[in-house]
Structure 1
Amino acid sequence: MKLKSMMKRLVNLLAAFILSVNCISAQNLTRWVNPFIGTGAVQSSLSGNNYPGATVPFGMVQLSPDTREAPDWAQASGYDYNDSIIYGFSHTRLSGTGASDFIDILLFPTISDKRKSTFTHQHEQARPGYYQVLLKDEKIQAELTASVHVGVHRYTCSDGDQLKLWLDLDHSANKGSWNRRIIQSQLRMVSPTVVEGYRIITGWAKLRKIYFHLEFSQPILSNQLYDGNRMYENTPVINGTELRGLFCFDKKWNKELICKVALSPVSIENARLNMATEVPGWDFEYIARAAETSWEKELKKIIIQGTDLQKKIFYTALYHTMVQPNTMSDVNGEYMASDYVTRSVAKGEVHYSTFSLWDTFRAAHPLYTLIHTHRIPDFVKSMMRQYDYYGYLPVWQLWGQDNYCMIGNHSIPVIVDAVLKGVAGVDEEKAYEAVFNSSIVSHPNSPFEVWEKYGYMPENIQTQSVSITLEQAFDDWCVAQLAKRLGKEKDYNHFMKRSAFYRNLFNSKTGFFQPKNDKGEWIEPFDPYKYGANGGYPFTEGNAWQYFWYVPQNIPDLISLTGGNKAFVAKLDTFFTVSYQSGALNDNASGFVGQYAHGNEPSHHVAYLYACAGEPWKTQKYVAYIMNELYNDSSSGYAGNDDCGEMSAWYVFGALGFYPVNPVSGEYVIGTPMLEEAVIQLPGRKTFTVKAPRKEDNEVYICSMKLNGEKYTKNYITHQNIMKGGILEFVMTASPGK
């Protein structure tokens, strides 16, 4: 009888397992992704600065409409949902950033020779890997899809119309920003169906080289090539700095035109090879299905159960975390190194760029370590290649070049985290060499001789001094942890000493971190509510209130400086409730809960600090509020710039129920799980499941927890716990569990 019962139980378990596998395989998760989330503000809010166009996970090509003739800060990705005009479809852009760049190689189909058209959202749609819009003035349907290196366009017009196509190499982000200008470009007619060329442009990223190979499904009947206002008719090649071409196709061909555009940062030959390898044929539907399949594979790394609204927000957020970093090596492994020399990665490796590290080291990169473990060695090696050829690790890198627009050197926590979490394929000694030297070799915003001399950054020597002091102290703590792992005791002690430099700017009289000059004097007047931007003030894109909490490497010491748990919680209470403003806000300050500004990264970990001070129910309260009130499924779905997926990664972690307050500690502070169930797919076919069933939406407080069936009372869960696989179960309630 006992054996029969056991067999029955095994059969039921097997059936449940098969059903579970079938459910996972049958999921169509791309249907929950809405690429229009975060593409346009409403009522003076920030929107996210995302775009709706076609790309594949971590691809080089991001093919999307440009709704501005010269996209700038407020439309950094080139698209604004509130606009009504499309100027064409360009192949590269940044996702969610606060500044614009890329916007390369624009195509625009036309009947009338115009270079723009109105459009409406009623005739526009997008899904992962696909975008469609009706160009109203031209009566042309435009469809876009992509592979890693190739953008594919399909344009459909009415019978009898003569379709023409503009190819614009002058179109770019605003040339009034970052001293942006085109240094040289070329258009070359290779055959009746092939056009090739390049442009070299400088801007936020310096001296970018973009080579392209373009194939048409129909032969070109005639062309007009322009350099500025000078027109050349049916010429085979043109060079200049304001190039565009108008290509005319014969009416006798069918009404559909397909254009394939392959990119390379290295050469036209590589662009040809990229196309021949990835998109040799002309089946648009097949290419679009392949793009969608690539997204489905990545989205399945976390399977959730929740409301439809939760699924839309969650899977769109997960999607946005995988738009970048971007592949920067060609299919043959060649890439343009930071010293402008063509080099190659080893077979099977990929070189990446677009590292918005001031943002993404906080949550996006910890998320990659969790669910994209196999990509981490390539991310790390890509960063270390800049060290090899440039002398120090990336600060904010795009198209292989650093722009230094932010502070700290947050490649360091990303690399150290990969080593400490045991990611295979990362050379520990090489990693240590890179993080060590990047912490002693001075570079923009990081004068380490000043750091060592004063034990802080004096504002009269280094502006943004308080923010840099706090963030650099954390980076130094990360270096110390890697030194400790490798048995480098002298280095460990040195960097641990530097990791406490934040104490040198703590003013016990005011209870804030404040700026000093090089004489050790407090700089007055001091206003903790006053904002700084990116220079000329001690705080970066925030104020003293928002930066007070940035000591993730030693939260117990921060609590002690504040006067203990009770005083610390009281200060948090004030932070989340006082809405006083002093002067103008920084442009990145938005999504307010008191002084907390969810629209920018310095605040992102703060709600979780209640749990570190013994009042986790307040963490649960505010995390739930932020997820419910500051995210939605509209064009204004984010409370601030998505910043290459960081705002999205915050939501993914928040919904799962834990967050990397110190992203290198290997611990995630528990918040409040918002989903009925989430299953994280881990390496080795393991899974980690979070269960939090609730009867009412207001059940945001944790009553009790179990880890693998055993009572669990810690306020954090370790990375090791998760990677082993298992089940974390929550019992939720509507009342704070004090």
Structure 2
Amino acid sequence: MKRTFASSTRALGQRLGLGLGILATGAMLYGCDTEQNTASNTPTPAAVAEASSVTQWVDPFIGTANEGNTYPGAVLPWGMASVVPQNIDFSKHKNSAAYHFGAEHIYGFGHMQLSGVGCPSSGALPVKAITGELALTPEETRSRYSKEQAEPGYYKVFLDTFNVWAEMTATTRSGITKYHFPAGKAHLVFDLAVNQGEMRGGRFSELSANRIEGYQIEGNFCDAGQERKIYFSAELSQPAAVYGQFDSPAFLETQKRTPNADYVGASFSYEFAEPTELELRVGISFVSVENARENLVTEQGKKSFAELRKAANAAWEKELSVVEVTGGRKEDKTKFYTALYHSLIMPHVSSDVNGEYLSVDGETVKKAEGFTRYSTFSLWDTYRTVHPLITLTHPEQQLDMVRSMVDTAEDSGWLPKWELIGMEAATMVGDPAVPVIVDTYRKGLKDFDVETAYQAMVKAGTQYETFNLLRPGIKHYLDLGYIPMDDRGGEPMEFGWFNGIVWGPVSTTLEYNLADWNISKLAEELGYEEDAKRFYEQAQSYRKLYDEETGFLRPRNKDGSWMTPFDPLDRHWDIRWKMSGGQGYVEGTAWQYLFFVPHDIPGLIDLMGEEQFIDRLSSSFENYYFDMTNEPDIQYPFLFNYVEGQEHRTQDIVTFAVDKYFNTTPWGIPGNDDAGTLSAWLAFAMMGFYPDLVGEPQYQLATPSFESITIKLDKDFYPGDEFRIEVENFAEENRYIASKSLNGKPFNPFQLQHEDMVKGGVLKVTASERAALN
């Protein structure tokens, strides 16, 4: 969808007070700009997508407010490169997003960006376009802006302060920006000291009148400490009259220099006799400048901006049209296809066009043979929704992502946890690559080195004599069945990702339980019977944390006593920062972890009693203990399906959540999108099925948001052509399921098997205004 902001961004920011009232009515804050700008330097817009395309329903501005941390820049599916507006002053502020809707100024355009994450990172090679006298500081080079326009693979904005249009598109490993300068003095300024990440600086290896090459430092993601280099090769369509390197003045006294990097910049200056278009083409690589140059030449060649923009749109059209929806409200189509769009941005391609990529040791250059190497695995988030979605809709890419994870294990001995450009940040908790790999394998995608993957899983699940990268606290976990509150590996304020201290002992124990259940299922498939038994028993240890008196999974001490005092609604402090989770929990409360036993919900029901399970689960929604903004409890709306006769509650709550927490404005994602995790939740929920237990090849059913959903299956990986869900008696008020049939036969379960889906066929759902009660 092409969105144009006709009013100035500053004016919209001043109207944010009205925004909440407008949002409550469902009205839109912005619309298409019909005003024609007749300035001689205004670009002629490229042809937009035809009316039949699905890209018309994507609005990249969704999630750019409300800490969704998405962006409206130009990127391809799983693209390494992205050209993104930066409207935050990174010389003064750390921020997890490059762009906040409503911010007053644009400070530049970066060329590699993460989507929806919660820690500052990326934003490499920021470029600033200015007119008049050459200026270098952020205050002098920033610009007010208006007339923003974004669609998949394309972004355009008018820089009001300098009277410059900028429009950009991308290929997988490169970007191109077309600047439309007025007559007079014009400059492009590159500053390697200004990027979004925690580590700053870089060096130029070549600087000439129309080319600049070098690297910028990236690293310390979420305080993990490591660093990598983002190599770039940039060329200008016209040679500069004057060019040169400068020291970044704003940083020399206030910032600590990064080793092996300088706080430097470069400027390219022009004197245009008439309005002029200037193109900047940038290739990036994580390996070398030479590879960045090769990526640029190979992917862009001599193609025009218009040709590259058209190709970018076609790439998105191809990947998004794997799912076709009909019927329903227009805003629901926008919500759905934007959610699918955000689900396909990360992980990122990390191998170059020649197949080379950087190993996790940060030094060895390897070559991907027969697969594409991926990076940027935000696994604590994405194992829940993003990877199960890609497994179904894009199995080729998912298989390569699993191969990339196994490659990490081959090089380091460990599967990834939160891996970024080959750097293991070890961020968050649990052992999250395990459910992704097991889920992929059990859904029929087995063409990877499963033995190497399995041995790495077993290592992480058993090793406590020496340092365990993936599972801090494992000795207590294996000995006691849980990680105690009074011995989590060190003093709480000394917490770090690599020092063995446990954040959230209850949450971490539950995550290990889920991983162990998955290892048990994979061991069964591979014939390791003893391992299967052992890991299954480990997965049941959540029972030792269930306190019958309070009815919660509660923190416990090493001697078996319960932690006191205990407040199930506390979420203000555990170990890292305010609001990091109540004592014993990770980014949540005891309520938000009460049902986090996805691998054994029937067992949890037995522990609690069916009546209390239903009552507690209902209370979590009625009292707004449920938190749609974060991952720990996002499967809870689907758990009523485990109790016969209560399935209508899942249908009701899922429909409510889709309507309440998501909308088509910049505030349209309820929290950090976390590399597409909340967006993928929405995509599943709107299709009417959800993978509540990752590792088990089945889905929980809910009421679809559309009259028809067609998933085109990849014949290279699945036996069927397509799987279709059809809703009879479809209407907005008919939010309940009265009956179902699968391929013409009555279908009573509220669980749909993955095997039945990928064979192809039709699930027919009859909707009703009234809930079907037993």
Q: What's the TM-score once normalised by structure 1's chain length?
A: 0.89
Report the RMSD for the aligned CA atoms in angstroms: 2.0
**2:700 equivalent in structure 1:** 669
Cα drift, residue 199 of structure 1: 2.2
Structure 2 residue 518 is matched with structure 1 residue 478: yes
- Determine the structure 2 residue equivalent to 1:128: 152
SS in structure 1 of the partner of residue 622 of structure 2: coil
Q: Tell me which residue corresponds to 2:54.
A: 29
Q: Find the residue that maps to 2:241 and give its secondary structure.
A: strand
1:47 shift after superposition? 4.2
CA contact (8 A) 2:357 2:368 kept: no
Letter in 2 for 1:616: E
Q: Using the TM superposition, give the Cα deviation of residue 48 of structure 1 relative to its aligned residue in structure 2, in angstroms.
A: 1.3
Match of 1:686 in 2: 721
Counterpart-to-counterpart distance in 2, 1:251 and 1:95: 37
Is it true that 1:610 corresponds to 2:635 in the alignment?
no
Tell me how far apart the structure 1 counterparts of residues 562 and 310 of structure 2 sit (CA, whole Å).
61
Q: Which residue in the other structure is 1:303 paired with?
A: 324
Q: Which of 503, 517, 528 is matched with 2:543 structurally?
A: 503
C-alpha distance in structure 2 between counterparts of 1:482 and 1:451, whole Å: 21
Q: Which of these residues, 385, 388, 392, is aligned with residue 363 of structure 1? A: 385
In the other structure, the counterpart of 2:620 is 575
Instruction: Work out whether 1:379 is the aligned partner of 2:401.
Output: yes
Q: How does 1:114-263 map to 2 (within 5 A)?
A: 114=135, 115-121=140-146, 123-158=147-182, 160-173=183-196, 180-182=198-200, 185-204=202-221, 206-229=226-249, 240-251=261-272, 255-263=276-284
Residues 613-640 of structure 1, C-alpha deviation per residue, up to 9 Å, x if partnerless? 1200000110000001111000000111
Please state if 1:316 is matched with 2:341. no
CA contact (8 A) 2:184 2:274 kept: no
Aligned equivalents of 2:92, 2:265: Cα separation in 1: 21
Change beyond 3 A, Cα 1:259–1:207: same
The answer for the alignment partner of 1:416 in structure 2 is 438
Aligned residue number for residue 62 of structure 1: 82
Q: Could you tell me which of 256, 277, 300 is aligned with 1:279? A: 300
Residue-by-residue CA offset, 1:659-697 (whole Å, 9 max, x unaligned): 111011111011111111110010226100011144531
Unmatched 5+ stretches in structure 2: 1-48, 252-259, 489-502, 577-582
| Other structure's SS at 2:75 match | coil
The answer to whether the Cα contact below 8 Å between 1:533 and 1:541 also exists between their aligned partners in 2 is: no
What residue is the counterpart of 2:761 in the other structure?
Answer: 726
* Superposed displacement of residue 25, structure 1: 11
Are the counterparts in 2 of residues 227 and 240 from structure 1 also a CA contact under 8 Å?
A: no
Do the aligned residues in 1 keep the contact of 2:409 with 2:452 (CA within 8 Å)?
no
Letter in 1 for 2:416: P
Could you say which residue in structure 1 is the equivalent of 2:579? none
* Counterpart pick for 1:600 among 617, 630, 638: 630
Contact 2:707–2:730 (8 Å) recurs in 1 = no
> Structure 1 stretch 314-323 or stretch 99-108: which is displaced more?
99-108
Q: Is the 8 A contact 2:460 2:470 kept in 1?
A: no
Q: Which residue does 1:434 correspond to in 2? A: 456
Q: Which moved more, 1:219-228 or 1:185-194?
A: 185-194
Q: Check 1:248–1:534 CA distance in 2 against 1; reply closer, same or farther (3 A cut).
A: farther
Question: Counterpart of 1:156 in structure 2: which amino acid?
Answer: H
**Structure 1 residues 127, 732: CA separation in 2 closer, same or farther (over 3 Å shift)?**
same
Secondary structure of 2:71's aligned partner = coil
1:624 is paired with a residue of what secondary structure? helix
What SS does structure 1 have at the residue aligned with 2:524?
A: helix
Distance 1:71 1:242 in 2: 12
Contact 1:474–1:552 (8 Å) recurs in 2: yes
Establish whether residue 454 from structure 1 lines up as the match of residue 480 from structure 2: yes
Amino acid aligned to 1:609 = L
Equivalences for residues 614-629 of structure 1 within 5 A:
614=644, 615-629=646-660
Q: Which residue of the partner structure matches residue 425 of structure 1?
A: 447
Structure 2 residue matching 1:285: 3-state secondary structure: helix
Distance in 2 (CA, whole Å) between partners of 1:484 and 1:298 is 34
Q: Deviations over 1:230-255 (max 9, x none)?
A: 99xxxxxxx95211111112425861
Tell me the TM-score normalised to structure 2 length: 0.85
Moved over 4 A (4+): 71-75
In structure 2, the partner of 1:234 is none
Q: Give 1:566 deviation, angstroms.
A: 2.2
Kindly indicate whether the alpha-carbon contact (under 8 Å) linking 1:363 and 1:660 is maintained by their aligned counterparts in 2.
yes
1:338 aligns with 2:373: no
Secondary structure of 1:181's aligned partner: coil
> Any conservation in 2 of the 1:610–1:619 contact (CA below 8 Å)?
yes
Distance 1:532 1:475 in 2: 27
CA distance in 1, matches of 2:218, 2:438: 34
Q: For the structure 1 residues 410 and 706, does the alpha-carbon distance in structure 2 shift closer, same or farther, using more than 3 Å as the test?
A: same
2:209 and 2:243 in contact (8 A); partners too: no
User: Using the alignment, how far apart are the partners of 1:485 and 1:241 within structure 2?
Assistant: 53
**Residue deviations 1:359-380 (CA, integer Å, cap 9, x gap):** 1111111001001101122101
TM-superposed deviation, 1:451: 1.5
CA distance in 2, matches of 1:125, 1:538: 45
1:195 corresponds to which letter in structure 2? I
> Greater CA deviation, 384-393 or 616-625?
384-393
SS for the counterpart of 2:535 is helix
Shift of 1:117: 3.6
1:581-592 equivalences under 5 Å are none
The answer to whether structure 1 residue 108 and structure 2 residue 125 are counterparts is no
Indicate yes or no: 2:564 matched with 1:524.
yes
1:647 aligns with 2:715: no
In the alignment, residue 539 of structure 1 is paired with which amino acid?
Y
For 1:161 and 1:534, locate their aligned partners in 2 and report how far apart those are by CA, in whole Å. 57
Corresponding residue for residue 468 of structure 1 = 508
The question of whether the paired residues in 1 share the 8 Å contact of 2:121 and 2:218 is answered with: no
